[in-house]
Chain A
């Protein structure tokens, strides 16, 4: 530890710490635009200049490391003057756009000028001006507002590993420029927009919609991929107008991909179902809730051979209640969902072994990472970001065994090309290198399933180093769906039950009397052979499956309900309702209404009560409620013991999503569609 003095106060800081961080430890704020934790140092904005005794001139605190006996003054008259005049310089060419700039109210330049700047500018010359540019459907760049802090360039380059932004021209004509001259071909993640301290980079989706203080901010979990990123939705008059994670809460810090940041607009798509539909004479007609539920309950009471298809994006509470109702009231184990990863066999293979499941934190901290058969940047962007940061900050060893080229190749110690049917040869070829590591985290996609999973775990054991595994799955609550027992042969917590039909078997059966589909669209991929079956669908849009239905019940989205979801790493997080539904009901409510109409007692049907039951009855879910309720992530304990399953490995199929697609919801996101149709292809 180093002892120094800041503003006559004794401060102790670890050796090697930057002065600006040491000051923060002591509660002293040194203003800076270009300094940003976790990214390369710039010392370009000169706002952090402070007085250091014995130094001939003011020094930038963001590049000075603490030294024993250093005496620093951050409020000396010279420092105060320097800040004022630097801000005065900055404002000479900055346009007075506050009234029309989206950043107003959240702008760091506004804050700095109020705190450190001059009230009146002495500038009377003509300002340098260039017109605003649009680089993609969601990214606008206003050159005059740009203060050239280079945060966007760094977050895109180092942070996201994409590098689609650069600087062109010189001097006062310097500008940020996109990868393709006049437009961006990138992940469209929007990190550049959120990191911009001023309104130089603004979002095309949020443009002119509102002022920040008119929004209510609700922190919930993104409903697209399985990584479980926290997204803070800005809501104005019951409409979601933006998503970001600037408060750095949740697992993901400030990271969000294009879906977490922009693809919330499916929520108020004009085609959202708002009234129940009943098939009358071959056509779906709008009816009241009571009429629709009456038709459903009539059929449910008649019974017969029943199939239930659950969802990968409904909450844990809804999945739990669905299988409970199906198993107890409908007397069926024909329950399944779209399975995208063989978590079940992984749990079985790990039984009795020292190896365990990995977490998102492990992706950032483990010294070596092996990626098998998955394009993480496309399918698991948050995990990809963790691994990239792990490499950048800790020089982690990254090993890649995938069919196609992936972004991780560039940072990999070794990268081999494999096929889906034979990934083991490629992985074996890296054995010696892997043995040289001290620990390993393995992430694998759906190419590794069934017996393949056991082979992988054996391979891991043979390395003689601690190994952790993450079985990659596709959707926001794929793990939850499995943990809650939406499986034909396993109940909640993977307790064995009398096996029922799997999803393809239900689709292929010709003798089903009843099919109940909740938040899923199996008819997009499968054809349904039971022509006489009565089909009940709960969903948000009139999907292919809903069109076949006899009764369609409009359901709420994840942003319209409370509950919990479990991410790919088994971390449980809270969903917080951001907007009210318009006519639709949550799946939980619908199940409860059906149960009540049938006289079935499911207990109290609200998210908290059901979760309390889950904590008590589902293996691994005895997690501390305070962690979840306060917006934290609680790690479920992995099942320790054999899990016998008759699941055929072929049934497990990832949908091989990309950054711009995740199932039904993203098809209805106007923003994502615009971005996909923009010039250029997906960034590879």
Chain B
């Protein structure tokens, strides 16, 4: 198991601090480097104290949605006989995202410690790490780690002699992006079709097997041990107000030094691309980028001089998302990018609701036709119209995730579409209005 890239001195390594150490995934390495100190500290704290510490850190979900983690844990009901569960979203299917696999490969005990702290905070007794089907190799690796943990008394009964009991299992998915959506993940975990649930109720109240469940991304759990050790305020101060801590950004595309880098929230995006990413390769100019996974609206090169944190990105009309940053140079064909993105969403649409199932299919077929050279002028406006007809109407955010990048590409790179259409001798006329 190798790392993609050598570390950069400009990184702030919190969750990735053990990357590159020899046998970083082994328990002895973990213990020798301060492992399980956070958990032991949590054993001496009350549920409220732990949750308040996490709230103070302003840690937000690192899977893409960015929901405040402490608040989520606070929703789990206290006075109930129901068992409580922890579920780790290791479904990492957002295009461009490849950080959770690194965490599970190179520092799995950090994840385990984060899970245990969450379990202590809400009173959970059992948990599952839901790993996407495409990460088959990783399930074996995590199972080996769990075996070691159980054998050495760091999982199961009386963990590390603290008297705390917890059972942790891996669960493999079967190749569905939608199962990264929290309620669809729970359905898949329960052995049913991976279609999302009606919410409310939310997983914190009714989750796995209708029991209160804390469901967070791998990286989110991994941030928790250090928060407990060094304090929530310490974590918050690493970033910007309300956007605390660091996050792993998966830099890909036409840069000199693609790789996964952990940076503090609030770092300037151009600084990140130029200083850590080594700037554009081959001396080309940047045209556009996908900031945090393909579900975000794209940014033009001139829109990228912004801080990388949840609020600033939202203000710029996009999202921090899952950290999957894909940088595109001036030679990139944006129409093909739009098609590639839509092909993904059409393939992954679970089919539950009409707008997403039919909308993604229609858009994909239309974009394919345009790329093939059979597009018409009216198709260009139709793309935006159809995508807007999906936005906000679907059962789950996948519809929005398909619509938003498409709308941004058509709006920001319209001339490229017009160029494709101009090549078609049979290009027709105006759009037919719907309403």
> Which residues of the other chain, A, contact B353 by a CB distance below 8 angstroms?
43-46
A43 is contacted by which of B198, B389, B435 (Cβ under 8 Å)?
B198
**B432 vs chain A, min Cβ distance (A):** 5
Complex contact A171–B350 (CB within 8 A) = yes
Complex contact B350–A43 (CB within 8 A) = no
> Which residues of the other chain, B, contact A77 by a CB distance below 8 angstroms?
435
- Complex alpha-carbon distance, A45 and B355, angstroms: 8
A80 is contacted by which of B352, B359, B432, B435 (Cβ under 8 Å)?
B435
Taking the complex as formed, is B434 at the interface, i.e. its CB lies under 8 A from any CB of chain A? yes
State the main secondary structure of chain A at its contact with B: loop
Taking the complex as formed, is A125 at the interface, i.e. its CB lies under 8 A from any CB of chain B? yes
| Complex interface bits, B335-377 against A, C-beta within 8 A gives 1, otherwise 0 | 0000000000011111111110111111001100100000000
Q: Assuming the A-B contacts A57-B392, A58-B393, A172-B349, are A90 and B354 also in contact, with contact meaning beta carbons closer than 8 angstroms in the complex?
A: yes
A92 is contacted by which of B348, B352, B362 (Cβ under 8 Å)?
B362
B359 is contacted by which of A89, A126, A170 (Cβ under 8 Å)?
A89
Taking the complex as formed, is A147 at the interface, i.e. its CB lies under 8 A from any CB of chain B? yes
- Complex alpha-carbon distance, A89 and B354, angstroms: 7
B434 is contacted by which of A44, A84, A148 (Cβ under 8 Å)?
A84
* Identity of the chain B residue whose Cβ is nearest the Cβ of A174 in the assembled complex: B351
Taking the complex as formed, is A128 at the interface, i.e. its CB lies under 8 A from any CB of chain B? yes
> Which residues of the other chain, B, contact A82 by a CB distance below 8 angstroms?
389, 393
The total of Cβ contacts below 8 Å across the A-B interface reads: 101
- Complex alpha-carbon distance, A169 and B393, angstroms: 23
**A20 vs chain B, min Cβ distance (A):** 14
Q: Assuming the A-B contacts A85-B434, A171-B346, are A147 and B354 also in contact, with contact meaning beta carbons closer than 8 angstroms in the complex?
A: yes
**A648 vs chain B, min Cβ distance (A):** 55
Taking the complex as formed, is B394 at the interface, i.e. its CB lies under 8 A from any CB of chain A? yes
Taking the complex as formed, is B135 at the interface, i.e. its CB lies under 8 A from any CB of chain A? no
Complex contact B395–A171 (CB within 8 A) = no
**B138 vs chain A, min Cβ distance (A):** 23
Taking the complex as formed, is A296 at the interface, i.e. its CB lies under 8 A from any CB of chain B? no
* Identity of the chain A residue whose Cβ is nearest the Cβ of B359 in the assembled complex: A89
* Identity of the chain A residue whose Cβ is nearest the Cβ of B346 in the assembled complex: A171
Q: Assuming the A-B contacts A89-B359, A174-B351, are A49 and B432 also in contact, with contact meaning beta carbons closer than 8 angstroms in the complex?
A: no
Taking the complex as formed, is A173 at the interface, i.e. its CB lies under 8 A from any CB of chain B? yes
> Which residues of the other chain, A, contact B361 by a CB distance below 8 angstroms?
92-93, 128, 171-172
Taking the complex as formed, is A432 at the interface, i.e. its CB lies under 8 A from any CB of chain B? no
- Complex alpha-carbon distance, A42 and B354, angstroms: 12
Q: Which of A67-75, A115-123, A245-253 contacts B (4 or more CB under 8 A)?
A: A115-123
B348 is contacted by which of A49, A86, A123, A171 (Cβ under 8 Å)?
A171
Complex contact B434–A81 (CB within 8 A) = yes
- Complex alpha-carbon distance, A581 and B348, angstroms: 59
- Complex alpha-carbon distance, A118 and B432, angstroms: 11
Within 8 A of A (CB), among B300-359: 346-355, 357-359
**B393 vs chain A, min Cβ distance (A):** 6
Complex contact B393–A86 (CB within 8 A) = yes
- Complex alpha-carbon distance, A99 and B209, angstroms: 47
Taking the complex as formed, is B255 at the interface, i.e. its CB lies under 8 A from any CB of chain A? no
Taking the complex as formed, is A63 at the interface, i.e. its CB lies under 8 A from any CB of chain B? yes
Complex contact A85–B362 (CB within 8 A) = no
Within 8 A of A (CB), among B99-154: none
**B114 vs chain A, min Cβ distance (A):** 31
Within 8 A of A (CB), among B379-400: 382, 389, 392-395
Q: Assuming the A-B contacts A89-B362, A123-B362, are A148 and B393 also in contact, with contact meaning beta carbons closer than 8 angstroms in the complex?
A: no
Interface size class of A (residues with CB under 8 A): 35 or more
- Complex alpha-carbon distance, A169 and B350, angstroms: 9
Most buried by B among A82, A126, A172: A172
> Which residues of the other chain, B, contact A80 by a CB distance below 8 angstroms?
435
Within 8 A of B (CB), among A121-157: 122-123, 125-126, 128, 147-148
Complex contact A43–B395 (CB within 8 A) = yes
> Which residues of the other chain, B, contact A169 by a CB distance below 8 angstroms?
351
B393 is contacted by which of A49, A63, A171 (Cβ under 8 Å)?
A49
Complex contact A46–B358 (CB within 8 A) = no
Taking the complex as formed, is B193 at the interface, i.e. its CB lies under 8 A from any CB of chain A? yes
- Complex alpha-carbon distance, A42 and B350, angstroms: 14
- Complex alpha-carbon distance, A4 and B353, angstroms: 28
> Which residues of the other chain, B, contact A627 by a CB distance below 8 angstroms?
none
Complex contact A58–B392 (CB within 8 A) = yes
**B307 vs chain A, min Cβ distance (A):** 25
Taking the complex as formed, is B249 at the interface, i.e. its CB lies under 8 A from any CB of chain A? no
B389 is contacted by which of A42, A47, A85 (Cβ under 8 Å)?
A85
Complex contact A170–B349 (CB within 8 A) = yes
Taking the complex as formed, is B214 at the interface, i.e. its CB lies under 8 A from any CB of chain A? no
Taking the complex as formed, is B299 at the interface, i.e. its CB lies under 8 A from any CB of chain A? no
- Complex alpha-carbon distance, A84 and B435, angstroms: 8
> Which residues of the other chain, A, contact B365 by a CB distance below 8 angstroms?
125-126
> Which residues of the other chain, B, contact A174 by a CB distance below 8 angstroms?
351, 357
* Identity of the chain A residue whose Cβ is nearest the Cβ of B178 in the assembled complex: A170
Taking the complex as formed, is A497 at the interface, i.e. its CB lies under 8 A from any CB of chain B? no
> Which residues of the other chain, B, contact A92 by a CB distance below 8 angstroms?
358, 361-362
**A353 vs chain B, min Cβ distance (A):** 43
Q: Assuming the A-B contacts A90-B358, A170-B350, are A46 and B198 also in contact, with contact meaning beta carbons closer than 8 angstroms in the complex?
A: no
> Which residues of the other chain, B, contact A128 by a CB distance below 8 angstroms?
361
- Complex alpha-carbon distance, A89 and B382, angstroms: 13
- Complex alpha-carbon distance, A172 and B349, angstroms: 8
**A238 vs chain B, min Cβ distance (A):** 42
> Which residues of the other chain, A, contact B382 by a CB distance below 8 angstroms?
122
Taking the complex as formed, is A25 at the interface, i.e. its CB lies under 8 A from any CB of chain B? no
**B338 vs chain A, min Cβ distance (A):** 16
Q: Assuming the A-B contacts A170-B176, A171-B349, A172-B349, are A125 and B355 also in contact, with contact meaning beta carbons closer than 8 angstroms in the complex?
A: no
- Complex alpha-carbon distance, A42 and B198, angstroms: 7
> Which residues of the other chain, B, contact A63 by a CB distance below 8 angstroms?
198
Complex contact A171–B354 (CB within 8 A) = no
Q: Assuming the A-B contacts A89-B389, A148-B351, A172-B346, are A120 and B362 also in contact, with contact meaning beta carbons closer than 8 angstroms in the complex?
A: no
Taking the complex as formed, is A10 at the interface, i.e. its CB lies under 8 A from any CB of chain B? no
* Identity of the chain B residue whose Cβ is nearest the Cβ of A63 in the assembled complex: B198
> Which residues of the other chain, A, contact B351 by a CB distance below 8 angstroms?
148, 167, 169-174
Complex contact A44–B393 (CB within 8 A) = no
> Which residues of the other chain, B, contact A44 by a CB distance below 8 angstroms?
352-354, 395
Within 8 A of B (CB), among A588-642: none
Q: Assuming the A-B contacts A41-B198, A171-B348, are A148 and B193 also in contact, with contact meaning beta carbons closer than 8 angstroms in the complex?
A: no
Complex contact A171–B357 (CB within 8 A) = yes
**B325 vs chain A, min Cβ distance (A):** 27
A122 is contacted by which of B349, B432, B435 (Cβ under 8 Å)?
B432
- Complex alpha-carbon distance, A611 and B435, angstroms: 60
Complex contact A86–B355 (CB within 8 A) = yes
Complex contact A125–B349 (CB within 8 A) = no
Most buried by B among A86, A118, A167: A86
**A171 vs chain B, min Cβ distance (A):** 4
> Which residues of the other chain, B, contact A57 by a CB distance below 8 angstroms?
392-393
**A217 vs chain B, min Cβ distance (A):** 32
* Identity of the chain B residue whose Cβ is nearest the Cβ of A93 in the assembled complex: B358
Taking the complex as formed, is A342 at the interface, i.e. its CB lies under 8 A from any CB of chain B? no
* Identity of the chain B residue whose Cβ is nearest the Cβ of A80 in the assembled complex: B435
> Which residues of the other chain, B, contact A93 by a CB distance below 8 angstroms?
358, 361
> Which residues of the other chain, A, contact B393 by a CB distance below 8 angstroms?
46, 49, 57-58, 82, 85-86
- Complex alpha-carbon distance, A167 and B192, angstroms: 11
Taking the complex as formed, is A88 at the interface, i.e. its CB lies under 8 A from any CB of chain B? yes
- Complex alpha-carbon distance, A118 and B362, angstroms: 17
Most buried by A among B347, B353, B365: B353
Within 8 A of B (CB), among A228-274: none
- Complex alpha-carbon distance, A44 and B435, angstroms: 23
Q: 9 A-B pairs, CB-CB below 8 angstroms?
A: A44-B352, A57-B392, A58-B392, A86-B393, A125-B362, A128-B361, A148-B357, A169-B351, A174-B357
**Known contacts A57-B393, A82-B393; 12 further A-B pairs (Cβ under 8 A):** A44-B352, A44-B354, A46-B355, A58-B393, A77-B435, A86-B389, A88-B389, A118-B434, A128-B361, A171-B357, A172-B351, A172-B358
> 9 closest pairs, A vs B, by CB?
A174-B351, A89-B358, A125-B365, A57-B392, A85-B389, A171-B349, A172-B361, A171-B351, A81-B435
